Every structure is written in C-alpha cells, then in structure tokens.
Amino acid sequence: MTWIQEFKQFATKGNVVDLAVAVVVGQAFTKIVTATVEGLIMPMASYVLPSGNWQTFTLGKLQIGKLSGAALDFVLIALVVFLVFVKGVGRLARPKETIQAATKTCPHCLETIPLAATRCRCCTSVLEA
C-alpha cells in the first residue's frame, strides 16, 4: 500500500472527519464569543476602566486590556463547552439509569436479570416475586 492510499484511508475515517468539523465549528463559535466580549461585555467594563477604552488599557508596557479580553474569551468559551458538552451529554446519559432500574440481581449467582423474571436465566433458581 502506497503512502497516498494510506493517507486517503486515514483522511476518510469517520473520526478524522468529525474532528475537522469540530475544529471548524469551534473556530466559528470562538469568533462569536470574541465578538460578544469585544462588542458587549468589555464596553460595559470600559465604564470602570480609567482610560475608557478597554483595549488600550495598559500598565506600563503591559497591555492589560488585550489580556483581559482574551482571558474573558477563554472563560466564556470554557463555560459554554462545560454547559453544553459536560452537562448536556450528562443529561443524555441519564436514561441508562432507568434501564438499570428495570432489573434486579439474582440472590444466588448475582446475575443481572429483568425485574419481572421468576427464574434466573443463569443459575435457573426460582425467584420470589
């Protein structure tokens, strides 16, 4: 197999395409958050900053305004990623708990069996209702 065929096989794998889509969507999302921080949040912060313009706020040669904007971008992006992916995916995983609630454990062999079962499928013990 030539390296071109190997590259084609690698590039057409599902996880590579999913990763590419995630990067593009993430980049677009970053632009939205950056625009929100620069156009909405930091102008409100400019009322408390001494110079009025948050991007030009400096402390000696340190550009505190640009740093604070980038830090706020990061915090907002991390917050949204946490809320959407960690909490959102966590809610999608909860129905598995209801499936587990419909089962019980055989007291003889500790096999997981349906709640309505009258006999264990593994050890064939008669189960109480």
3-93: which CATH topology? 1.10.1200
Let me know: does 95 contact 103? Beta carbons within 8 Å: no
Report pLDDT digits (tens) over 4-23: 888 878 777 767 777 777 88
- In angstroms, the CA 67 to CA 58 distance is 10
Answer whether residue 106 shows pLDDT above 80. yes
Q: How many CB atoms lie within 10 A of CB 18?
A: 10
Torsion of CA 39, 40, 42, 48, to 10 degrees: 130
Domain boundaries, the chain: 3-93, 101-129
Q: Give me the phi and psi of 115, to 5 degrees please.
A: -65, -35
Answer whether residue 116 shows pLDDT above 80. yes
- The pTM for the full model equals 0.46
Report pLDDT digits (tens) over 45-96: 777 766 566 677 788 888 888 888 788 878 887 887 788 777 877 677 666 5
Helix and strand numbers, DSSP H then E, in the chain: 6, 2
Burial of 97 (0-12, 13-18, 19+ CB in 10 A): exposed
Closest listed residue to residue 99, CA positions, set 81, 115, 84: 115
Answer whether residue 35 shows pLDDT above 80. yes
